[in-house]
Chain A
Amino acid sequence: MSDTGAKPDNAEGKKTPAAKKKNNGPKYSGYDLDCFLSPQDVLRAVRELDQSGFFLEDISCLDIQEGLFLVYHFDRYEQPGRVGLRVLLDRNNPEIPSIFDIYPGAAWHERECFDFFGVRFTDHPNLIPLLLDPDYKGLPPLLKDEGDRQGLEQILPERDVSPVSVQSQELIQKIHDCSKTHDRTQS
């Protein structure tokens, strides 16, 4: 028993570095600008996006070992280019300011995250269940079991996950210049 139990472990240990070498990620991930923010910087970044003419595509959330991981997707009509804003929240206190005041369309996306992950958006005008039954009493359904959770390193290998500061002029310039960098058909 102990033999068979040890083998997959070893195999996995060998596989990881090899997989890492091979894995340079996809040619184009669909993101033209992808940045990690700290929760208190989100409003400022979203305001910047609003002024640059972006619209909100959706708000996605992930349950990982480090906590709840929100991903805001923005795109632009006139000068297409997708921006992903990634924010890591504390699992025990998943709170983040609502962006409803800037994008009223975010109200439903935020309610969906509240439904499925229990993320609380402060200053949301109407944070009640959207898709789930209001009488549902269980845990948010998309939260994973303790053992199934993966860490950031497993999901986004070799990525710099330290939050960038919104104060920096560099980021604001990047947001402003963001445009589609890759044409799938030309590759």
Chain B
Amino acid sequence: MNLDLRLDTSGDFYAQKFQPTKRDDTLILNMGPQHPSTHGVLRILLEIDGEYIVRADPVLGYIHRMHEKMAEIMTYPQYLPNPSRTDYLHALAWGWAHVGAVERLMDIEVPERAEYIRVITCELNRISSHLLWWGAYLLDLGAFTPIMYAFDDRERIQDILQRITGSRLTYCYYRFGGVSHDIDQRFIEETKTQCARMKDRAKMFKDLVTDNFILRKRVEEIGEIPLDTCRKYGATGPVLRGSGLAYDTRRAEPYSVYDRFDYKIPTHDTCDAMGRYLVRMDEIQESIQIIEQALDSLPEGNFIHPKAPKRPKPPAGDVYFAVEGGRGKIGMHLVSDGGNKPYRLKLRAPGFSNLSLFSEIAQGTLIADAVSILGSLDLVIPEIDR
């Protein structure tokens, strides 16, 4: 009787490519595509020795929708709703990257008030994105209650944004040269109330979860990513800042009016999952700081430039525009031939680069720790697969 499991299961294309190995006492295991801890359809091929991971290789593409091809066959305004379908958790940042690239290429002026509105809504969206990550990550680690608290706050933010943008998740709010609707007094008051509430909640989150002994055992000294590994794989966002480097596109490559606000770039130099956890928790507070300052100094004026083109036809040329999303640097490389559709639009997804370092850091860890590492990278699969 043949007891070598590997000979019985030849597997699909990717499993076969993964097969060759010198060891005969290991097992090849598929984690996903529908594993609860992979948050979407991500599959990871594992070679395991007992509970330990010898090799890991993510398999992507299960929800690939060819957003880059869609950009080439749709006119600029037709593509406006698309970017928010890539990273649906920080949809506004993706929308911003798109309109920002077109504005940079065409040199469209954005009124000051519109820039402030963009900052406020984008930061609100960042908070809701981090909240969902927080709840879902703890769910992966076996704590059910926190996601209920996270959704309590998240729903309030979604209510605020829904009145202004018209949607709760996949926002299509930014336009070339501004935003689609102005904000009103009620929005300002509700946002202020929510900011004050979030500050209070932070204490409760800390007492309830962050200081919890069991959580700390699951995340401290787990998944350490040295700075040089971050650089070699192009990691950005909280993954990089959790390794101790204060790199943030809002500061490094200033866009919009971010340089007018006083905020810190939180870093933790422990390089582990706890570092990334704490960075995101601190970032929620920093986003609140930005929103409060923006609301206090909100200028009067147009919410969209009166002469903003509704059907843009940018001149020939190419630009790169990057913004800081909840997961890191979102980049758009827009190439135009002077037509009403992009000649090529390349989307840089931060999660794509962040996930690519998983194979390296997962080596030698326990499967349970790999779950913790994956969660700490804050993956949104539609963004990675595009």
Nearest Cβ on chain A to B272's Cβ, whole angstroms: 20
Residues of B within 8 A of A30 (CB): 104, 319-322
What are 9 of the A-B contact pairs (CB < 8 Å)? A19-B316, A23-B317, A30-B321, A55-B235, A108-B353, A128-B13, A130-B60, A131-B386, A185-B260
CB of B368 within 8 A of chain A?
no
Nearest Cβ on chain B to A112's Cβ, whole angstroms: 8
Query: What's the dominant secondary structure at chain B's contact region?
Result: mixed
Q: Mark B244-283, 1 if CB is under 8 A from A, else 0.
A: 0101000011111101100000000000000000000000
* Number of inter-chain CB pairs below 8 Å: 147
Number of B positions contacting A (CB below 8 A): 57
Nearest Cβ on chain B to A160's Cβ, whole angstroms: 14
Measured CB to CB, the nearest residue on chain B to A29 is B319
CA distance A6 to B223 in the complex (A): 66
CB of B68 within 8 A of chain A?
yes
Decide if B360 touches A77 in the complex (CB within 8 Å).
no
Residues of B within 8 A of A169 (CB): none
CB of A118 within 8 A of chain B?
no
Knowing A26-B104, A156-B318 touch, does A105 contact B233 (C-beta < 8 A)?
yes
Q: Mark A108-122, 1 if CB is under 8 A from B, else 0.
A: 100000001000000
Measured CB to CB, the nearest residue on chain A to B386 is A131
CA distance A71 to B345 in the complex (A): 12
Decide if A130 touches B61 in the complex (CB within 8 Å).
yes
Q: Mark A10-48, 1 if CB is under 8 A from B, else 0.
A: 000000000100110111111100000000000000000
Decide if B352 touches A108 in the complex (CB within 8 Å).
yes
Chain A binder among B161-169, B185-193, B202-210, B336-344 = B336-344
CB of A164 within 8 A of chain B?
no
CB of B17 within 8 A of chain A?
yes
CA distance A61 to B318 in the complex (A): 12
Residues of B within 8 A of A116 (CB): 68
Q: Mark B327-366, 1 if CB is under 8 A from A, else 0.
A: 0010101011110000110101000110011001000000
Decide if A77 touches B245 in the complex (CB within 8 Å).
yes
Nearest Cβ on chain B to A150's Cβ, whole angstroms: 5
Decide if A71 touches B317 in the complex (CB within 8 Å).
no
Nearest Cβ on chain B to A84's Cβ, whole angstroms: 7
CB of A163 within 8 A of chain B?
no
Measured CB to CB, the nearest residue on chain B to A105 is B233
Known contacts A84-B320, A180-B253; 8 additional CB pairs below 8 A are A29-B320, A57-B348, A80-B253, A155-B335, A155-B343, A184-B254, A184-B255, A185-B260
A-B pairs, top 5 by smallest CB distance, nearest first, are A30-B320, A105-B233, A60-B346, A80-B252, A134-B13
CB of B385 within 8 A of chain A?
yes
CB of A97 within 8 A of chain B?
no
Measured CB to CB, the nearest residue on chain B to A130 is B60
Residues of B within 8 A of A104 (CB): 232-233, 360
CA distance A167 to B338 in the complex (A): 35
Residues of B within 8 A of A131 (CB): 60-61, 64, 385-386
Residues of B within 8 A of A73 (CB): 320, 331, 333, 348
Knowing A77-B247, A80-B252, A130-B61 touch, does A58 contact B333 (C-beta < 8 A)?
yes
Number of A positions contacting B (CB below 8 A): 51
Nearest Cβ on chain A to B382's Cβ, whole angstroms: 12
Residues of B within 8 A of A22 (CB): 315
Measured CB to CB, the nearest residue on chain A to B344 is A62
Decide if A60 touches B344 in the complex (CB within 8 Å).
yes
Decide if A185 touches B256 in the complex (CB within 8 Å).
yes
Residues of A within 8 A of B343 (CB): 62, 150, 155
Decide if B316 touches A155 in the complex (CB within 8 Å).
yes
Residues of B near any A CB (own CB < 8 A):
13-14, 17, 60-61, 64, 66, 68-69, 72, 104-107, 230-235, 240, 245, 247, 252-257, 259-260, 315-322, 329, 331, 333, 335-338, 343-344, 346, 348, 352-353, 356-357, 360, 385-386
Decide if A27 touches B107 in the complex (CB within 8 Å).
yes
Residues of B within 8 A of A130 (CB): 60-61
Decide if B231 touches A142 in the complex (CB within 8 Å).
no
Most chain B C-beta atoms within 10 Å of own C-beta, residue among A116, A135, A155: A155
CA distance A52 to B369 in the complex (A): 34
CA distance A2 to B240 in the complex (A): 62
Residues of B within 8 A of A135 (CB): 13
| Cβ 8 A contact of A141, one of B14, B69, B247, B385 | B69
Measured CB to CB, the nearest residue on chain B to A144 is B72
Nearest Cβ on chain A to B131's Cβ, whole angstroms: 27
Residues of B within 8 A of A84 (CB): 320
Decide if A26 touches B317 in the complex (CB within 8 Å).
yes
| Cβ 8 A contact of B346, one of A28, A58, A128, A150 | A58
| Cβ 8 A contact of B315, one of A19, A108, A128 | A19
Knowing A26-B319, A29-B319, A141-B66 touch, does A77 contact B231 (C-beta < 8 A)?
yes
Nearest Cβ on chain B to A140's Cβ, whole angstroms: 11
Decide if A154 touches B337 in the complex (CB within 8 Å).
yes
Residues of B within 8 A of A75 (CB): 329
Residues of A within 8 A of B69 (CB): 141-142
Residues of A within 8 A of B335 (CB): 62, 155
Measured CB to CB, the nearest residue on chain A to B331 is A57
Nearest Cβ on chain A to B301's Cβ, whole angstroms: 16
